[in-house]
Amino acid sequence: MSRAAHIPNLGGARAFVLHRPHATVSAISRQLQAIGLEVVDCWPELPAEALAADFVFFDVDLGFDQQFPWPRGAAPMPTIALIGSEAPGRIEWALAHKADAQLLKPVGNAGVYSALLIARQSFAARRQLADEITALQQRVAERQTIVRAVSALSGQDGVDDERAYAQLRALAMNWQVSLEDAARRVVALTEKEAGVDQSHRA
């Protein structure tokens, strides 16, 4: 039997609604306030304090990149797209901003709460995936550094890759650092020596 998903308490959160004065804003604000959120209406752009918001609703129909104090698709909080027009260009623009949930206009008396929960979960999953990708990229970079360090050490007379790797491990133990840190030191020393040799030749 699977565990039920935990439904968070959203009371006290702060939501910015980036939309021109309209009945849509009033409908969203009523629902948000009923849930317990603080609501900030703004147009035509988000103020700098929106960077600390818990949620941002934004209008797709009249939206443009300069409204946001962050690069396209890099919102630091969950975002909900307010879609009225289904013109391909407008949908493409919303997708480029990586909205975590959407609400179709006109907004009635329901839908905001589920949009908040979906947006929060989607945003968290997207951030987790981005963190995992970053961690993998760092591991790949570290392995490449180890390979470079082993290659530098094996360049010495009579030293094969296996012995060079053993030397690198010994250096890491002697320096009391991780294997990756030792590899970075070896690579840095090798590059420094290569730079000195080139300067002498010049």
The CATH code of the domain that includes 170 is 1.10.10
Is the same domain home to 195 and 145? yes
Predicted local distance difference test score (pLDDT) of residue 3: 47
Q: Give domain status of residue 117, yes or no.
A: no
Predicted local distance difference test score (pLDDT) of residue 10: 85
For residue 164, how many C-alpha atoms fall within 13 Å in the half-sphere facing its CB? 18
Mean pLDDT by 10 residues, the chain (202 residues): 58 94 94 94 95 96 95 95 93 94 92 95 90 85 87 75 88 90 88 61 51
d(CA 120, CA 80): 10
Is the same domain home to 147 and 64? no
Burial class (CB in 10 A: 0-12, 13-18, 19+), 98: middle
Count up the domains in the chain and report the number: 2
Is the same domain home to 91 and 42? yes
d(CA 149, CA 190): 8
Q: Residue 180 contacts by C-beta under 8 Å, 6 or more apart in sequence?
A: 142, 145, 146
Is the same domain home to 103 and 179? no
Q: Give domain status of residue 145, yes or no.
A: yes
Is the same domain home to 104 and 179? no
Is the same domain home to 98 and 137? no
Query: Cβ distance 73 to 123 under 8 Å?
Result: no
| Ordered strands of the 79-83 beta sheet | 38-42, 14-18, 55-59, 79-83, 101-104
d(CA 167, CA 175): 12
Is the same domain home to 98 and 148? no
Is the same domain home to 197 and 141? yes
Q: Give domain status of residue 103, yes or no.
A: yes
Is the same domain home to 19 and 98? yes
pTM of the entire structure? 0.71
Predicted local distance difference test score (pLDDT) of residue 33: 94
Predicted local distance difference test score (pLDDT) of residue 127: 86
Q: Give domain status of residue 181, yes or no.
A: yes
Predicted local distance difference test score (pLDDT) of residue 130: 79
Would you state the structure tokens that stand for residue 153, as one six-digit string?
Answer: 């050490």
Is the same domain home to 74 and 27? yes
Range of 162's domain? Answer: 132-201
d(CA 189, CA 166): 18
Buried residues in 107-130 as b, exposed as e (16+ CB within 10 A): beeebbeebbbebbebbeeeeeee
Q: Give domain status of residue 9, yes or no.
A: no
Is the same domain home to 56 and 25? yes
